[in-house]
């Protein structure tokens, strides 16, 4: 067992922070009721107006009516104000990048913590057409007669052979959702030649000539090739790619080489120029967006909807952005203690597949496509597991969700149950010491080569503390791939991580998995082509053919109780990687699911002290600290019975306020809390009726809900003059081989 701490940190970190300060939220909600004029003033500011426009055009339009003094029913006004306050709450507290709501920046570790923001207008941004629209646009362009004749065509990269049949995945759209199905055709000599010839890309007319060589008439041959394209056995070079430059640039690079695509090329250049104009400054008039929309409509000849047209990412440009190296020491300390507290949870889907593989194939090496084929192989999701199960979330939790019947606690769980019972609601913080866990062993062998930690750095009573979010659940670059286009610093950081990962696995060819499961998911998946090799699957790779690993060339076997992938063409072991934070397990195709899971083999997937399941027996769980590290913030479980009286007070704000005031006294709730809604948290001021009503409206249909303490109080490490901001710091670690 390896007890020595094996990781070092990268010299930079990633800062994530919201557009507005939580000081702004404090100010807006400081009284019993929000002042209408103050809310209107904030919503009328360029900073909020454009952010809301990009997030929700329908909400923006309703807001404009209200701001313009249009007479509206009072009930509609109240609903509108509630929606606006939700968005403003997010803009003031949540750090997850989303449009102009929150952004990212690269910082450096030095001997002092100092993060100071500039005024918002000095930040940067990048605006692209939404991938949903770009995919649709590329499909429309690909069928224009003159362009179709000049496009190169490639084989569908999901193709594999079963006997004298060719199987592949094709997709169709239903209600903007991609539906996949396995298709099968007979493998004939002429079809085999077409596929082989198309490997490097070939014009439609050259494919027609192949069939003519076999005796077909030209018209008949043309119809047949067009049928292959329609049925997706062949893809054009306009097939979406989510690796490399942004897709509009990729489309233009294809069209600019053509003789008969001048009109389309010029229109797309105008669209790109309009997008570039938006990014020359941080704030824009809404008319600039309306002009862009009209330009697109004139090009395609049809009106388009307001929603999901643009994707905007936000680059923070702080005046100063440094963290004290003491934060790194805290991370190392937290990683060590959580290593002891987090049990190993193997990836059950991958493990089930391995055991099924051994039963079926023993020590044989077989085509991965055959093994994952549900008809001739064993498939991927075994024994009733389905693709809706997310191994990330499944394995992140330290405690599994228990049945409401008998609960079998582990020793660690019983320890925390005992600690919480001892304080008996009389202590808000439980402080752990080294002595609490001296008997527990630490083992570093089952962690990935690079890992990331997401923490919040807070000040409390003049002391710097860190609050742990996720830990070691993702590679050091996985959360950053999609933001690399925002600037050279971000791209350099990710490239540095990629280089380290390659050096730590020299015996493997590390290959990036390139797959587009849904058009809109492309907004999350789009990233530069960081790695030397790619495994394209139902998405185009822009790399040279020799740098692409075909699905059909992947062989799988089990050696020394571990799954092994080998490329038949290069005779190299393959280590697939997905440099994104995509929740890939939800309804994914078996091959994509398997390749994305592969990196988690024999790896402990995340460390985290998740005490939320203890709410099955405790209404209140105190904050858990270990020295300067907050392992779990204080949290409360509020049952429906505690708030249902307020449902009869709909038109009596004072009665609701007083009832919640009594509830705060009963549960010892602070003024500011976070309402936990899945992966998102909503900041609530329990001394403001508008904020209270938002909470009650969200939870009124629930049997119970959970809230947690808001850790930012009098001070913050991130400031702009006297304004205080929340923060998330992403810190990458790598295994030291020296």
d(CA 656, CA 670): 17
In a domain, 309, yes or no: yes
Domain that holds residue 227: 152-236
Span 498-513, pLDDT tens digits:
999 999 999 999 999 9
Span 549-583, pLDDT tens digits:
999 999 999 999 999 999 999 999 999 999 998 98
pTM over 0.85: yes
d(CA 519, CA 134): 8
Q: What band does 384 get if pLDDT is binned at 50, 70 and 90?
A: very low
Q: What band does 401 get if pLDDT is binned at 50, 70 and 90?
A: very low
389 or 731, which is more confident:
731
Structure tokens at 123: 């930040």
3-state secondary structure of 80: helix
pLDDT above 70 for 396: no
Q: What is the mean pLDDT of residues 41-61?
A: 96
Backbone angles phi, psi at 704, to 5 degrees: -160, 165
- Looking at the fold, whether 168 and 214 belong to one and the same domain comes out as yes
- Looking at the fold, whether 221 and 170 belong to one and the same domain comes out as yes
Structure tokens at 159: 């193709």
d(CA 729, CA 469): 10
- Looking at the fold, whether 166 and 309 belong to one and the same domain comes out as no
In a domain, 217, yes or no: yes
Domain C-terminal end among 203, 236, 269:
236
Q: What is the mean pLDDT of residues 144-152?
A: 96
- Looking at the fold, whether 293 and 266 belong to one and the same domain comes out as yes
Q: What is the mean pLDDT of residues 357-377?
A: 96
Q: Percent of the chain at pLDDT above 90?
A: 82
What's the mean pLDDT when you consider all of the chain?
92
- Looking at the fold, whether 192 and 263 belong to one and the same domain comes out as no
Span 66-89, pLDDT tens digits:
999 999 999 999 999 999 999 999
User: Any idea which of 54-58, 424-428, 729-733 has the lowest mean pLDDT?
Assistant: 424-428
Can you tell me which residue has the tokens 């610093």?
Answer: 489
- Looking at the fold, whether 166 and 231 belong to one and the same domain comes out as yes
In a domain, 520, yes or no: no
Classify strands 728-735 and 450-460 as parallel, antiparallel or unpaired. antiparallel
In a domain, 386, yes or no: no
pLDDT above 90 for 423: no
Domain C-terminal end among 262, 280, 315:
315
422 or 38, which is more confident:
38
- Looking at the fold, whether 156 and 232 belong to one and the same domain comes out as yes
Span 258-276, pLDDT tens digits:
999 999 999 999 999 999 9
Classify strands 629-632 and 623-626 as parallel, antiparallel or unpaired. antiparallel
Domain C-terminal end among 188, 210, 236:
236
> Do residues 269 and 248 lie in contact, with contact meaning Cβ atoms separated by under 8 Å?
no
Structure tokens at 283: 């704030």
- Looking at the fold, whether 260 and 309 belong to one and the same domain comes out as yes
- Looking at the fold, whether 266 and 302 belong to one and the same domain comes out as yes
- Looking at the fold, whether 129 and 249 belong to one and the same domain comes out as yes
In a domain, 714, yes or no: no
Say what the pLDDT of residue 399 is. Answer: 28
DSSP symbol at 476: T
Q: Percent of the chain at pLDDT above 70?
A: 96
In a domain, 250, yes or no: yes
189-197 and 204-213 helices, crossing angle to 10°: 150
Domain count across the chain: 2
Helices in 231-261 by DSSP H: which ranges?
A: 247-255
- Looking at the fold, whether 259 and 129 belong to one and the same domain comes out as yes
In a domain, 612, yes or no: no
472 or 397, which is more confident:
472
Span 97-139, pLDDT tens digits:
999 999 999 999 999 999 999 999 999 999 999 999 999 999 9
The angle at the Cα of 526, spanning 106 to 495, to the nearest 5 degrees, equals 45
Say what the pLDDT of residue 390 is. Answer: 25
In a domain, 258, yes or no: yes
CA distances from 259 to 143, 147, 263 (A): 16, 9, 10
Q: What band does 410 get if pLDDT is binned at 50, 70 and 90?
A: low
DSSP symbol at 484: G
Q: What band does 344 get if pLDDT is binned at 50, 70 and 90?
A: confident
Name, in order, each residue with C-beta under 8 angstroms of 70's C-beta and a sequence gap of 6 or more.
none
What end-to-end distance do the CA atoms of the chain give, in Å? 18
- Looking at the fold, whether 157 and 281 belong to one and the same domain comes out as no
């Amino acid at each position: 067992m390896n007890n020595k701490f094996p990781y070092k940190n990268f010299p930079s970190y990633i800062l994530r922070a919201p557009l507005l300060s939580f000081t702004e939220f404090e100010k807006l909600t400081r009284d019993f009721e929000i002042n209408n004029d103050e809310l209107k003033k904030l919503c009328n500011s360029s900073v909020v107006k454009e952010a809301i426009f990009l997030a929700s055009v329908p909400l923006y339009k309703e807001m404009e009516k209200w701001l313009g003094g249009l007479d509206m029913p009072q009930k509609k006004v109240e609903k509108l104000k509630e929606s606006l306050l939700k968005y403003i709450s997010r803009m003031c507290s949540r750090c997850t990048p989303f449009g102009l709501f929150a952004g990212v920046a690269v910082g450096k570790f030095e001997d002092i913590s100092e993060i100071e923001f500039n005024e918002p207008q000095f930040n940067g941004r990048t605006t692209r057409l939404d991938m949903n629209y770009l995919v649709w646009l590329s499909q429309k362009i690909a069928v224009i007669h003159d362009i179709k004749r000049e496009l190169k065509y490639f084989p569908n990269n999901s193709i594999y052979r079963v006997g004298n049949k060719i199987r592949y995945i094709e997709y169709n759209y239903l209600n903007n959702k991609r539906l996949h199905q396995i298709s099968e055709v007979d493998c004939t000599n002429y079809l085999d030649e077409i596929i082989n010839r198309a490997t490097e890309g070939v014009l439609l007319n050259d494919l027609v000539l192949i069939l003519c060589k076999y005796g077909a008439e030209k018209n008949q041959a043309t119809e047949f090739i067009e049928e292959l394209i329609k049925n997706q056995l062949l893809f054009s070079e306009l097939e979406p790619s989510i690796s490399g430059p942004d897709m509009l640039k990729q489309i233009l690079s294809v069209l600019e080489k053509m003789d008969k695509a001048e009109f389309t090329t010029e229109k797309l250049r105008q669209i790109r120029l309009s997008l570039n104009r938006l990014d020359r400054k941080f704030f824009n008039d809404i008319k600039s967006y309306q002009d862009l929309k009209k330009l697109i409509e004139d090009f395609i000849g049809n009106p388009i909807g307001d929603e999901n047209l643009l994707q905007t990412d936000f680059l923070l440009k702080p005046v100063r952005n440094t963290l004290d190296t003491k934060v790194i020491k805290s991370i190392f300390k937290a990683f060590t203690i959580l290593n002891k507290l987090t049990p190993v949870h193997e990836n059950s889907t991958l493990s089930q597949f391995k055991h099924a593989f051994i039963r079926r194939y023993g020590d044989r090496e077989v085509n991965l496509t055959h093994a994952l084929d549900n008809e001739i192989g064993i498939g991927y999701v075994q024994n009733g597991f389905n693709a809706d199960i997310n191994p990330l979330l499944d394995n992140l939790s330290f405690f599994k969700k228990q049945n409401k019947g008998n609960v079998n606690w582990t020793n660690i769980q019983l320890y925390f149950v005992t600690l919480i019972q001892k304080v008996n609601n009389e202590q808000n913080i439980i402080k752990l010491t080294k002595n609490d866990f001296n008997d527990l062993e630490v083992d570093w062998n089952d962690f990935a080569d690079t890992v990331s930690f997401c923490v919040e750095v807070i000040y409390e009573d003049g002391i710097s503390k860190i609050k742990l979010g996720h830990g070691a659940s993702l590679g050091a670059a996985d959360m950053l791939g999609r933001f690399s286009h925002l600037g050279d610093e971000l791209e350099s950081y990710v490239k540095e991580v990629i280089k380290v990962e390659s050096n730590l696995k020299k015996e493997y060819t590390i290959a990036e998995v390139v797959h587009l499961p849904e058009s809109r998911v492309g907004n999350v998946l789009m990233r530069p082509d960081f790695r030397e090799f790619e495994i394209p699957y139902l998405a185009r790779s822009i790399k040279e053919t020799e740098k692409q690993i075909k699905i059909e060339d992947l062989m799988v076997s089990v050696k020394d109780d571990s799954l092994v992938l080998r490329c038949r063409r290069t005779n190299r072991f393959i280590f697939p990687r997905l440099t994104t934070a995509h929740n890939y397990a939800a309804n994914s195709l078996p091959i994509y699911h398997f390749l994305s899971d592969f990196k988690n083999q024999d790896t402990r997937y995340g460390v985290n002290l998740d005490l939320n399941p203890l709410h099955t027996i405790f209404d209140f769980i105190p904050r858990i600290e270990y020295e300067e590290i907050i392992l779990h913030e204080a949290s409360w479980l509020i049952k429906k019975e505690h708030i249902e009286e307020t449902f009869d007070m709909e038109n009596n704000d004072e009665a609701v306020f007083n009832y919640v005031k009594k509830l705060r006294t009963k549960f010892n709730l602070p003024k500011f809390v976070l309402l936990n809604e899945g992966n998102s948290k909503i900041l609530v001021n329990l001394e403001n009726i508008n904020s209270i009503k938002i909470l009650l409206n969200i939870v009124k249909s629930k049997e119970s809900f959970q809230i947690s303490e808001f850790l930012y109080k009098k001070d913050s490490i991130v400031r702009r003059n006297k304004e205080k901001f929340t923060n998330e710091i992403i810190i990458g670690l790598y295994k030291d081989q020296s």
